[in-house]
Amino acid sequence: MAKNVVHHDRTKHIEIKYHFIRELIYSGLIRVKKIATKTNPADIFTKVVPVGKLQEALEVLRVTEN
């Protein structure tokens, strides 16, 4: 919905924050791009991942033991 401005009956009552985000995308201030699951460090917050992927994601996110 952020990229496609097509109006549907279901999208009649969209919250204002989504319109704001759509405007930012349209103006070019932000870009929405797909990140493959294989390389997405945020997966560690949403699903169970193998230890290797967890360690890689923590490095990408700069999480340390301090």
Query: Is residue 41 a contact partner of residue 57, using CB atoms and an 8 Å limit?
Result: yes
**Do residues 29 and 44 share a domain?**
no
pLDDT digits (tens, 9 = 90+) for 9-42: 666 666 777 778 888 988 999 998 888 888 899 9
The predicted model scores a pTM of: 0.51
Q: Residue 10: what residue type? A: R
More confident residue, 9 or 59: 59
Residue whose structure tokens are 């290797």 = 52
Domain with 66, as residue range(s), is 34-66
More confident residue, 31 or 2: 31
Q: Would you say residue 2 has pLDDT above 90?
A: no
pLDDT category of residue 55 using cuts at 50, 70 and 90: very high
How many domains does one find in the chain?
2
pLDDT score of 5:
61
Q: Are residues 39 and 56 in the same domain?
A: yes
